[in-house]
């Protein structure tokens, strides 16, 4: 399934393929030129192209078959593009109290302890989310990756999508339908909000300055990974960069009007991946904790070179359909007036 927003990106970039062709070829390194030529025509090439499945494997259980099946050169290059917003491996020890002992005096102590504890709680919510999220993650795998399992967890009542920061005036439709839905479980809806807000607050630590706004960060695509059924969301930030003759000469339609998103290096970081914990397929246990990672698509990296289709390399868009079966889009929209009011709309 393709959302309106990504469709507009796709079309825009298809139309300007000739313009961007020079970008996508000139920045290739020797390694990627070699690896992107077809294996049959160059049997001497030892390094295959990275696949979306390689990427997901590296974010799965370390001991399982999967990671070891990834070519080590590819694994190293993929890992060099991971910018974790939450440490990949759960820490078992709490460092908050030991940090405090080193501080001498002052108002900062209480604040720092609170900050440390807040971060630790957030980390844990990514590694081991609340029960309703775990249930959905297990359902996804047990159903064999059936998106119907996700659809059945959603309350069918349609909720009209109101104006979002003046979008109606600009004739901009941000969502693929004029109405959205919510999960039956309020905790699932709350968890989605938590993900959007955590990405916004932690992004800058890895160089992703992101704002929850209709031009920048408001949506993600919930998918079930092809081979494992693992539940995930591919978020896209920097959705509508402002038109600029020099740096971003693309018209993207009504939703771009008035954009204050500048096209700069932080575009490289616009694909953000959340993966739910992976349940064991034979027991009640879990084989992998949850993951929250920014995928760095800088032009000299393997994500840009091997995983992003050439016609959208300029926009750095990694496609959700390449990761698995897309069940729904999740939107987090500011439907408030003067006072911001962010709400979830599942479309
Ligand atoms: C999932 O399947 C699609 C379509 O068959 C394919 O393009 C994509 O690469 C696959 N992704 C993974 C992670 O295997
Ligand atoms: C763009 O506008 C939003 C909403 O007014 C604001 O929060 C954000 O900081 C602005 N971003 C930039 C890059 O100026």
Residue closest via CA to ligand 1's atom 6 equals 322
User: Which string of DSSP letters, residue by residue, matches 26-52?
Assistant: HT--HHHHHHHS-TTT-TT---PPP-H
Q: Report the candidate in 328, 341, 319 with the shortest Cα–Cα distance to residue 236.
A: 319
Taking the CA of residue 209 as reference, the ligand 2 atom at the shortest distance is 13
Taking the CA of residue 225 as reference, the ligand 1 atom at the shortest distance is 13
Centroid of ligand 2 to alpha carbon of 147 (angstroms): 35
Report the mean per-residue pLDDT for the chain.
86
Centroid of ligand 2 to alpha carbon of 208 (angstroms): 14
242 CB within 6 A, ligand 2: no
List the chain pLDDT tens, one digit each, 347 residues.
334 444 344 434 433 333 333 233 222 322 233 333 344 444 456 789 999 999 999 999 976 545 568 999 999 999 999 999 999 999 876 668 755 555 545 557 788 889 999 999 999 999 999 999 999 999 999 999 999 999 999 999 999 999 999 999 999 999 999 999 999 999 999 999 999 999 999 999 999 999 999 999 999 999 999 989 999 999 999 999 999 999 999 999 999 999 999 999 999 999 999 999 999 988 999 999 999 999 999 999 999 999 999 989 999 999 999 999 999 999 999 999 999 999 999 99
Taking the CA of residue 261 as reference, the ligand 2 atom at the shortest distance is 13
Centroid of ligand 2 to alpha carbon of 215 (angstroms): 9
To test ligand 2's pocket by mutation, which of 211, 238, 262 has the most ligand atoms within 8 angstroms of CB?
211
175 CB within 6 A, ligand 2: no
Q: What is residue 111's predicted lDDT score, i.e. its pLDDT?
A: 85
Centroid of ligand 1 to alpha carbon of 138 (angstroms): 21
Phi-psi region of 53 (alpha: psi -120 to 50; beta: other; left: phi over 0): alpha
Residue 113, token pair as written in the block: 């302890």
What is the DSSP code (8-state) at residue 259?
-
Residue closest via CA to ligand 1's atom 13 equals 53
213 CB within 6 A, ligand 2: yes
Residue whose pair of structure tokens reads 């800058």 in the numeric block: 204
Centroid of ligand 2 to alpha carbon of 15 (angstroms): 29
Residue closest via CA to ligand 1's atom 12 equals 53
Instruction: Name 334's bridge partners.
Output: 342
260 CB within 6 A, ligand 2: yes
Residue closest via CA to ligand 2's atom 14 equals 260
Q: How far apart are CA 191 and CA 175, in angstroms?
A: 20
63 CB within 6 A, ligand 2: no
Q: Please name the residues in contact with 326: beta carbons below 8 A apart, sequence gap of 6 or more.
A: 1, 147, 221, 222, 223, 320
pLDDT tens-digit profile of 145-181?
999 999 999 999 999 999 999 999 999 999 999 999 9
Centroid of ligand 2 to alpha carbon of 247 (angstroms): 19
Q: How far apart are CA 117 and CA 95, in angstroms?
A: 9
Half-sphere exposure of 8 toward its Cβ, with a 13 Å CA cutoff? 17
Pocket of ligand 1 (CB under 6 A): 52-53, 56, 225-227, 322-324
């Amino acid at each position: 399934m393709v959302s309106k927003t990504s469709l507009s990106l796709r079309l825009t970039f298809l139309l300007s393929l000739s313009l961007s062709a020079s970008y996508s070829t000139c920045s290739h390194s020797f390694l990627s030129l070699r690896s992107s030529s077809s294996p049959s025509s160059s049997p001497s090439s030892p390094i295959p192209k990275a696949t979306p499945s390689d990427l997901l494997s590296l974010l799965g259980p370390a001991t399982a078959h999967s990671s070891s099946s990834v070519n080590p050169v590819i694994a190293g290059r993929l890992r060099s593009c991971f910018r974790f917003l939450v440490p990949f491996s759960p820490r078992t020890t709490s460092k908050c109290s030991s940090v405090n002992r080193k501080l001498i005096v002052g108002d900062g102590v209480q604040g720092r302890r609170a900050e440390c504890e807040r971060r630790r709680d957030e980390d844990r919510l990514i590694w081991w989310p609340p029960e309703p999220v775990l249930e959905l993650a297990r359902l996804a795998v047990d159903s064999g990756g059936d998106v119907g399992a996700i659809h059945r967890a959603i309350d069918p009542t349609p909720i009209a999508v109101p104006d979002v920061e003046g979008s109606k005036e600009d004739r901009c439709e941000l969502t693929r339908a004029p109405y959205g839905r919510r999960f039956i479980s309020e905790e699932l809806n709350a968890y989605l909000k938590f993900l959007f807000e955590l990405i916004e607050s932690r992004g800058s630590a890895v160089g992703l300055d992101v704002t929850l706004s209709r031009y920048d960060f408001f949506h993600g695509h919930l998918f079930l990974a092809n081979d494992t059924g693992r539940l995930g969301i591919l978020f896209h930030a920097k959705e509508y960069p402002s038109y600029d003759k020099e740096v971003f000469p693309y018209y993207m339609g009504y939703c771009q009007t008035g954009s204050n998103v500048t096209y700069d290096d932080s575009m490289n970081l616009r694909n953000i991946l959340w993966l739910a914990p992976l349940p064991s397929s034979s027991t009640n246990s879990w084989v992998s904790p949850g993951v929250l990672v920014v995928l760095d698509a800088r032009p000299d990296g393997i994500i840009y070179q091997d995983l992003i289709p050439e016609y959208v390399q300029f926009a750095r868009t990694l496609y959700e359909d390449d990761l698995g079966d897309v069940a729904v889009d999740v939107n987090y929209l500011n439907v408030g007036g003067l006072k911001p009011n962010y709400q979830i709309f599942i479309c």
